[in-house]
Amino acid sequence: MYYQPSSKFSANRRQRQSNRSNRAPHTWPKIYWWLLAVVTALAILVYWLFFSASWRLTVVEVGQAGNFDSSDIQAMAWDTAHESSWLPGDNLWLFNRSVLRQKIEAKYYLDNLQIKLRPPHKITVSFQEKNYGLIWQEGNGFFYINYQGDIIAQKNEAVGNVTLLVNRAAPRQEGRRIKIEEKYLRFADELDRAITQNSQGLTPRTLFIDDEFNTVNVQISGGPILKFSTEEGIDKQLTKLASLRRWELSDGRSFNSQHYIDLRYGDRVFYQ
């Protein structure tokens, strides 16, 4: 038996086939393309800012230092730049200024320490140095300190025009400080200046402290140890010394042959 579809049915079928053939291919919604563009742009920006050579650190500029070598701070900066395990630490924007500050402050006493980024390739380190009053020698170390005992700098030698105080007692350095009462440091500095102004043969000399309380000693080269009290006036004790040398130890040989001269007790002087 033969079946002949109606003309209406055939027309509907042809219309459906035509609609399928004319349908547009499947595409992403526009929001996806925008998201892809944004992510790509961000990736390019991140690479340009943090991984490209455009912002690579090449210059570390440090202010002029008087009490220490400023190249030491430069070395700290480069060490900090290369400490990162996987991020490019020498990138200007990723440079860890907090770590560098901690390193500098752990070694030096500085005022107004500032670490600034100077795009595209430089950082600057500026500061003001604290003043030191004298030099404290402990072992082979020369510590430039203020009267509060803060260690401003450490060097391998002493400067000739700065009071040098040698420690012949137990070590007193604790971190960045010399643990000693301020009166000893001030007295030693003032005593050294007073002797310098009117040396009367008391040079060369070495100022030192030992385990005796309230005492600063002066070792005369080739001569006696002079014992001064931090509780008595410097001028008074020097006057007693001058009187002793004038009336009792007027001969330079007899003065130099003494082991010590003790000026610490009122109007009396003890020597041996």
More confident residue, 45 or 95: 95
pLDDT for residue 241: 94
Tell me the per-residue pLDDT of 86-133, one tens digit each, with 9 for 90 and over.
Answer: 566 678 888 889 999 999 988 888 888 999 999 998 999 999 888 889
Class of domain 53-129: alpha beta
Name 114's bridge partners: 126
* Two structure tokens written together for 253: 């040989």
Q: Which residue has the tokens 């943090």?
A: 50
Cβ–Cβ under 8 Å, residues 81 and 95? yes
- Which pLDDT band, with edges at 50, 70 and 90, does 14 fall under? low
- SS3 of 262, please? strand
pLDDT for residue 6: 53
Averaged pLDDT, 247-260: 90
CA distances from 43 to 94, 121, 205 (A): 17, 22, 70
Cβ–Cβ under 8 Å, residues 136 and 159? no
Q: What percent of the chain has pLDDT over 90?
A: 51
Low-confidence winner among 74-88, 169-183, 221-235, 239-253 (lowest mean pLDDT): 74-88
For residues 211-237, one letter each, b for 16 or more C-beta atoms within 10 angstroms of the residue's C-beta and e for the rest, the string is eeeebbbbbbeebbbbbbbbebebeeb
**Domain extent listing, the chain:** 53-129, 134-266
Question: Can you list the pairs that 195-202 forms with residues at least 24 positions away whose Cβ atoms lie under 8 Å?
Answer: 195/238, 198/238, 200/242, 200/245, 201/252, 202/226
pLDDT for residue 122: 93
Tell me the per-residue pLDDT of 128-168, one tens digit each, with 9 for 90 and over.
Answer: 888 889 999 999 999 999 999 999 888 888 877 899 999 99
Q: How far apart are CA 225 and CA 262, in angstroms?
A: 8
Tell me the per-residue pLDDT of 186-216, one tens digit each, with 9 for 90 and over.
Answer: 999 999 999 988 867 788 899 999 999 999 9
- Which pLDDT band, with edges at 50, 70 and 90, does 25 fall under? low
Averaged pLDDT, 7-26: 55
Q: How far apart are CA 172 and CA 26, in angstroms?
A: 82
Averaged pLDDT, 208-234: 96
Low-confidence winner among 18-27, 43-52, 149-158 (lowest mean pLDDT): 18-27
Q: Is residue 75's pLDDT more than 90?
A: yes
More confident residue, 180 or 9: 180
- Which pLDDT band, with edges at 50, 70 and 90, does 13 fall under? low
Q: How far apart are CA 242 and CA 234, in angstroms?
A: 12
More confident residue, 76 or 23: 76
- SS3 of 66, please? coil
Half-sphere exposure of 161 (CA within 13 A, CB side): 0
Q: How far apart are CA 180 and CA 177, in angstroms?
A: 9
Cβ–Cβ under 8 Å, residues 89 and 81? yes
Averaged pLDDT, 21-33: 66
Averaged pLDDT, 40-47: 76
More confident residue, 79 or 43: 79
Cβ–Cβ under 8 Å, residues 49 and 43? no
- Which pLDDT band, with edges at 50, 70 and 90, does 26 fall under? low
Fold for the domain defined by 134-266: Rossmann fold (3.40.50)
Q: Is residue 258's pLDDT more than 70?
A: yes
pLDDT for residue 84: 62
pLDDT for residue 183: 96
